């Protein structure tokens, strides 16, 4: 009877019916990438319409509807490269109205149906009928594998993860040579193609295929070295090069193969940064920064960089245009090249050219912030495993949530307003002036100017850490920087955090690098992870395995027993300005330093319980926050989550504390309305939350 009563109560609350496509990161995303520069205000409806024009012309399903192909420029044929392009577009153009998951699956089925004995697709197929060109093309394999990984995070199907790992195994075994350089395919290696090097894909593989991370990092290093060596003094890549001597272009200029090289380098750069990518882009930019996009033609001389082609089309306009994602210094050029892509796409390419039309869409997705690394976004919003929720959706779990519901995990909630954390350490800020930079940060802390908090914290709390900044190059040989950080303990010495499961914090504002500063690293190449910008308060969860050194210093192990500080560093091109807010910094599993404040402080004097959900609506992670008066402490309470049908999906049995925070991960649930109910002695509260995928 109690359950029936509660279900009836739910239906009283429900006044509207909503339906959503099951997409975790719906188009358009319009994000700012962690590196470089991109447009964020393009007409996304126009881009979606142009995609649909191309899709309607080149996507074709088999008569039985079980598989699909992308028609080549000769529409009787399909090439494996086109399957990869189509799968990537299906991932990134899916939105809350139209999901292309079904079409994605049919393209993947086509790829699988035409694999050879090495497990890679034969590169050219006649319709749905027979193999016309045998064996694989490595660029297709890299794009398809990346598309599968992105689909795993976009659509949430575990099968994509397993399929991706299997394809990565085929690539490792058959499309990489003994020197860790990518081969052009699984069956030949007498010349190599720099445009087959997908920097973004390989970096993702290194993070996704954790058992083979070293292998993929070796491939990146070795192949990037070839790509840089092949680049001429004018900054130009050749269609093919001599495997024994990458500077030997074998007589090839930059034509329809090599033009994709700057796009692939820029793509990897805005996702992951890197000195090699910067060097490649910095070498080619001077040749084109003063050339109008309408003057770009379809062949470029390898030695001189002179334009020697005849046709202004999407393949070449976008290939060159992507180099201007290097920094905001080239914002005008990037905008102009994007606009020219719109012009040439509408005039011919989208209707008539498989190759130029597909690249038109992919270039514009990247340029506009609509081709993000979904794996990074997923990690930025939640743990990829559901460790913060119960695993059985039909039973109640008698476990305490492994988040900041345990106040000892909270390093600082910022609520006392001063520079001292709950663990006794202090907040500080810094700039690059000592190294020759001229950047400014406000406040800039010193012995006589301690840090103070700013009103307006996450989840409606009173205070947060807040800085504003302007970056100025000065005499630096690298990009200027500023930062904010906190010492782990009062003595400002190393502390053992080996029991910590992960780090978490709320932030909004500029993109930054979260760093764990350990005593064993003395050249500042600390372990860290890049975090994308956000205009709203966002929960960031950082697992130990997410952390890596940037690579410019001495390689050293991450010593979890020697953590001195946590810091958030902002580094970008000259003239960049912005702000960063931080709140509720926590390290679940930590053993706080002796004497640390273990009771969560609050500026709020509350007489009645307060239940808050933030963000709400959410996708896929939200925080359930419960503030309780002192009279409720030590009571047993239950927080239960029900779906729209009244089915219990999550439950937590907790000991009441002043401030309880639970992380709810909706990754395994469909979009819809959920109800959060808190019950205890003299306590019965219910509120709604909306999961929108």
Q: What residues are labeled active site?
A: 81, 139
What CA–CA distance (Å, rounded) separates 500 from 331? 42
What CA–CA distance (Å, rounded) separates 70 from 83? 6
- Burial classification of residue 70, based on how many CB atoms lie within 10 Å of its CB (0-12 exposed, 13-18 middle, 19 or more buried): buried
Dihedral of CA atoms 593, 596, 599, 603 in degrees, nearest 10, equals -130
Helices (H), strands (E): how many in the chain? Answer: 15, 24
Distance from the first to the final alpha carbon of the chain: 33
638 DSSP β-pair partners: 653, 679
What CA–CA distance (Å, rounded) separates 597 from 422? 5
What CA–CA distance (Å, rounded) separates 420 from 6? 45
3-state secondary structure of 202: helix
CA nearest to 583, candidates 641, 651, 638, 659: 659
8-state DSSP, 176: B
Q: Which two tokens stand for residue 148?
A: 């599968």
Place of tokens 């999906």: 649
Q: Which two tokens stand for residue 10?
A: 């739910």
Q: Which two tokens stand for residue 540?
A: 């960031």
688 DSSP β-pair partners: 675
Dihedral of CA atoms 326, 331, 333, 336 in degrees, nearest 10, equals 130
Q: Which run of H or E residues covers position 107?
A: helix 101-113
For the beta sheet containing 672-680, the strands, ordered from the edge strand earlier in sequence to the opposite edge, are: 648-655, 636-642, 672-680, 683-691
- Burial classification of residue 63, based on how many CB atoms lie within 10 Å of its CB (0-12 exposed, 13-18 middle, 19 or more buried): exposed
8-state DSSP, 252: -
- 50, 346 contact by CB (below 8 A): yes
What CA–CA distance (Å, rounded) separates 332 from 319? 16
What CA–CA distance (Å, rounded) separates 91 from 101? 7
CB count in 10 Å sphere of residue 35: 25
What CA–CA distance (Å, rounded) separates 298 from 260? 12
By DSSP bridging, strand 512-518 and strand 527-531 are antiparallel
What CA–CA distance (Å, rounded) separates 64 from 76? 18
Q: Which residues contact 214 (CB under 8 A, 6 or more apart)?
A: none
């Amino acid at each position: 009877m109690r359950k029936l009563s509660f279900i009836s109560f739910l239906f009283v609350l429900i006044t509207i019916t909503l339906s959503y496509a099951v997409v975790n990161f719906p188009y358009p995303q319009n994000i700012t990438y962690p590196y470089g520069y991109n447009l964020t205000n393009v007409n996304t409806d126009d881009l979606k319409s142009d995609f649909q024009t191309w899709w309607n012309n080149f996507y074709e399903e088999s008569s039985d509807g079980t598989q699909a192909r992308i028609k080549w420029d000769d529409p009787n044929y399909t090439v494996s490269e086109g399957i990869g392009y189509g799968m990537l577009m299906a991932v990134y153009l899916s939105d809350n109205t139209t999901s292309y998951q079904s079409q994605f699956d049919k393209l993947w089925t086509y790829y699988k149906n035409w694999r050879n004995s090495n497990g890679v697709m034969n590169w050219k197929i006649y319709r749905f009928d027979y193999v016309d060109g045998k064996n694989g093309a490595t660029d297709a394999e890299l794009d398809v594998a990346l598309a599968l990984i992105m689909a795993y995070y976009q659509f949430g199907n575990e099968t994509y993860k397993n399929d991706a790992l299997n394809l990565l195994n085929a690539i490792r075994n058959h499309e990489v040579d003994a020197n860790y350089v990518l081969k052009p395919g699984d069956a030949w290696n007498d010349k190599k193609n720099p445009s087959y090097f997908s920097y973004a894909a390989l970096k993702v593989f290194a993070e996704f295929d954790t058992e083979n991370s070293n292998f993929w990092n070796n491939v990146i290093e070795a192949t990037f070295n070839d790509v840089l060596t092949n680049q001429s003094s004018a900054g130009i890549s050749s269609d093919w090069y001599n495997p024994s001597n990458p500077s030997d272009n074998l007589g090839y200029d930059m034509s329809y193969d090599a033009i994709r090289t700057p796009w692939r380098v820029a793509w990897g750069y805005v996702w992951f940064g890197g000195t090699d990518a910067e060097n490649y882009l910095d070498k080619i930019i001077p040749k084109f920064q003063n050339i109008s996009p309408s003057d770009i033609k379809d062949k470029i001389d390898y030695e001189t960089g002179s334009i020697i082609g005849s046709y202004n089309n999407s393949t070449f306009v976008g290939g060159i245009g992507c180099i201007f994602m290097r920094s905001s210094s080239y914002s005008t050029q990037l905008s102009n090249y994007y606009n020219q892509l719109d012009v040439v796409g509408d005039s011919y390419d989208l209707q008539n050219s498989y190759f130029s039309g597909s690249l038109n869409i992919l270039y514009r997705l990247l340029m506009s912030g609509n081709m993000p690394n979904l794996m990074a976004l997923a990690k930025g919003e939640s743990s990829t495993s559901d460790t913060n929720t119960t695993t059985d959706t039909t039973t109640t779990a008698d476990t305490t949530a492994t988040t900041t519901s345990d106040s000892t995990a909270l390093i600082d909630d910022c609520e006392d307003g001063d520079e001292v954390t709950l663990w006794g350490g202090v907040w500080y800020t810094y700039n690059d002036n000592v190294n020759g930079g001229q950047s400014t940060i406000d406040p800039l802390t010193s012995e006589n100017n301690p840090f103070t908090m700013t009103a307006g914290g996450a989840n409606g709390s009173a205070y947060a850490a807040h800085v504003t900044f302007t970056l100025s190059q000065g005499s630096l040989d690298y990009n200027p920087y500023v930062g904010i950080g906190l010492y782990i303990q009062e003595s400002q010495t190393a502390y053992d955090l080996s029991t910590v499961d992960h780090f978490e914090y709320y932030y909004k504002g500029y993109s930054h690098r979260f760093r764990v500063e350990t005593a064993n690293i003395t050249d500042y190449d600390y372990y860290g992870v890049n975090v994308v910008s956000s205009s709203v308060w966002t929960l960031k969860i950082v697992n130990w395995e997410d952390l890596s050194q940037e690579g410019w210093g001495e390689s050293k192990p991450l010593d979890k027993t020697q953590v001195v500080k946590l810091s958030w560093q902002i580094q970008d091109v000259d003239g960049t300005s912005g702000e960063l807010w931080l709140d509720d910094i926590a390290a679940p599993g930590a053993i706080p330093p002796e004497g640390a404040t273990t009771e969560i402080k609050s500026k709020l004097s509350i007489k009645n319980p307060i239940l808050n959900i933030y963000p709400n609506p959410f996708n896929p992670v939200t925080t359930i926050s419960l503030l309780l008066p002192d009279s409720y402490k030590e009571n047993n309470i239950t927080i239960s989550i029900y779906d729209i049908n009244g089915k219990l999906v999550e439950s937590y049995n907790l000991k009441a504390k002043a401030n309880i925070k639970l992380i709810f991960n909706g990754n395994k649930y469909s979009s819809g309305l959920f109800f959060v109910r808190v019950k205890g002695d003299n306590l019965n509260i219910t509120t709604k939350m909306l999961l929108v995928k």
